[in-house]
Chain A
Amino acid sequence: MTMSPVERDSEFDRDALSCLPEVARFARSLTRNAVDADDLVQETYLRAYKGYATFQRGASMRRWLFSICHHAWMRHLEVRKRVLLEADTADATAETLSAVMGHAAAQRAGLDRFITDLGLGPAIKSAIEELDPAFRSIVMLVDVEGMAYAEAAAVTGVPVGTVRSRLFRARRLLQERLFAHARDAGIVPADSPTSHSTDR
């Protein structure tokens, strides 16, 4: 059944524009500044509206919008030649084991407990922002938006295995940076074994 333009716009308003706050948060995490994020959101909704006929009824509107947003941002990065393909070389199992060894070292240094400190939020947010774009988008989709690997793969247009390896490396990097933050903040002495390398 074909919708009238009024019905289509009403549906777009209800289903797509209601996702704007989440799309804006995702855009902010990708661009790392408010002006670029707002431009990206505008571009996302413009593309979504123009291509609304291609949206499959019953599919996740949020995932569709995130996908448009991510693709638009990746095109910007390609233009700026800032895409790092190094991310695809990550080994998921090795990254997991490395993160576990990092935790073991942090336990010995007595700094693993700080991870639940209430004041850690800004440090984590900052550490996420410092991740390379390919890692950052996956962390946001899985760890913040709560998507399954397959959903994140659909949004980013990469295989599930790549999502997994990027996610695990990103988490390992985040963990290392937070331990370093704890050491720099004086939570533990500078000579404490905060690196997993001491555990090998």
Chain B
Amino acid sequence: MNPPISLAGVAPIDCRTAVARLWDFLDEELDAIRLAEVEAHVALCARCAEHYRFARAFLDAVSESWQEIPDTTQLRERVVETLTRQGFRDGR
């Protein structure tokens, strides 16, 4: 682990703190102060930057794996049929 890295105006954090915030950072769930602390650390720490790069690629791959939208043409007809029995009027 590297010692805490400091940039002007941002409190230094060590590598353990930086990687512990990894998922929260990538999910944009950190507050502005913690986010700035991570950005400052990762900008200067190659090892942590590599963990962040990998995690970003991993999340992109997870997201991509399910991007295909199923064809729901027939399913829509079944759903509308079911709803029609409840009084629904299909506008199409």
Contacts and interface: CB of A to CB of B under 8 A. Distances in A.
A146 B51 CA distance: 21
B78 A42 contact: yes
Interface residues of B, number: 42
Contacts of B22: 96, 99-100
B31 to A, nearest CB: 13
A83 interface: no
B62 A128 contact: yes
Contacts, number: 122
Interface in B43-92: 50-51, 54-55, 57-59, 61-70, 72, 75-76, 78-80, 82-83, 86-92
A142 interface: yes
A62 B77 CA distance: 20
Nearest to B75: A38
A116 interface: yes
Contacts of A41: 72, 75, 79
A41 B74 CA distance: 12
28 contacts: A6-B89, A9-B89, A20-B72, A20-B79, A22-B69, A25-B69, A29-B66, A42-B79, A45-B79, A45-B82, A45-B83, A46-B82, A96-B21, A96-B23, A99-B22, A99-B55, A100-B55, A103-B54, A115-B54, A116-B61, A120-B61, A121-B61, A139-B62, A143-B62, A144-B63, A171-B58, A171-B62, A174-B62
Which 6 residue pairs across A and B have the least CB separation, nearest first?
Answer: A124-B65, A144-B66, A125-B65, A100-B19, A21-B69, A121-B65
